[in-house]
């Protein structure tokens, strides 16, 4: 039985909905990420993606999906977690505190360039804030301008940049860490 899902946004005259993802969305999310996520900037090992997306069922990974009513398919996703992955960037008094981590953001190419990624990203941030997260992190290839713009529009700011040739084989081979701190 499907549980009721929170609607995060409605756009395009009601034809696209932003919904909290559930276990029933796992196959579509996995397919979308693996089919439309890989590019010169993204590090998406297939087994890691499958494990990450599968953990939606247990609640370890959270996600917001954009669902196209006319197409009856998922056309965008942002996955995120509550973690301690970026403890080294936390303020000293909060170095062991949980924080949000936004992992994947993918929009189907037919829906790209219209702000859908930013809307999904912002919905994920707001969900993490509603869960009490005081810092939210994401990382991207330093040269990935579309990701930078989406994160900037969502209120994230650059925290750090470092050489990362093991997962960034192209361009500058650097990773940028971004952070969002909600206003009190």
Rounded Cα distance between 145 and 168, Å, is 15
Beta bridge partners of 80: 62, 102
Mean pLDDT of 156-166: 96
Mean pLDDT of 121-150: 96
Residues 6+ apart with CB under 8 A from 138: 101, 102, 103, 105, 151, 156, 177, 178
Assign a CATH topology to domain 7-132: Aminopeptidase (3.40.630)
Mean pLDDT of 169-180: 96
Mean pLDDT of 54-83: 95
pLDDT digits (tens, 9 = 90+) for 87-126: 999 989 999 999 999 999 999 999 999 999 999 999 999 9
Environment class of 77 (CB within 10 Å of its CB; exposed 0-12, middle 13-18, buried 19+): buried
Statement: residue 39 has pLDDT above 50 = yes
Given a contact cutoff of 8 angstroms between Cβ atoms, the answer to whether 156 and 177 are in contact is no
Task: Please give the mean pLDDT across all residues of the chain.
Answer: 93
Statement: residue 1 has pLDDT above 60 = no
pLDDT digits (tens, 9 = 90+) for 4-26: 688 898 888 888 989 999 999 99
- What is the reported pLDDT for 5? 81
Mean pLDDT of 62-73: 93
Statement: residue 78 has pLDDT above 50 = yes
Mean pLDDT of 158-181: 95
- What is the reported pLDDT for 13? 83
- What is the reported pLDDT for 132? 96
Statement: residue 145 has pLDDT above 60 = yes
Rounded Cα distance between 60 and 87, Å, is 18
Its pTM stands at 0.94
């Amino acid at each position: 039985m499907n549980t009721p899902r929170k609607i995060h946004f409605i756009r395009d005259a009601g034809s696209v909905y932003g919904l909290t993802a559930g276990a029933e969305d796992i196959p579509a999310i996995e397919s979308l990420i693996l089919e439309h996520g890989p590019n010169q900037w993204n590090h998406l090992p297939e087994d890691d993606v499958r494990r990450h997306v599968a953990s939606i069922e247990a609640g370890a990974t959270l996600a917001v999906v954009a669902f196209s009513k006319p197409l009856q398919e998922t056309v965008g996703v942002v996955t995120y977690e509550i973690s301690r992955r970026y403890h080294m960037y936390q303020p000293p008094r909060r170095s062991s505190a949980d924080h949000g981590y936004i992992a994947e953001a993918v929009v189907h190419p037919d829906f790209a360039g219209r702000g859908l990624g930013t809307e999904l990203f912002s919905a994920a941030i707001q969900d993490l804030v509603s869960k009490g997260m005081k810092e939210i992190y994401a990382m991207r290839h330093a040269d990935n301008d579309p990701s930078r713009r989406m994160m900037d529009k969502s209120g994230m700011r650059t925290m750090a940049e470092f050489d990362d040739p093991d997962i960034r084989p192209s361009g500058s081979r650097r990773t940028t860490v971004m952070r969002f701190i909600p206003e009190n």
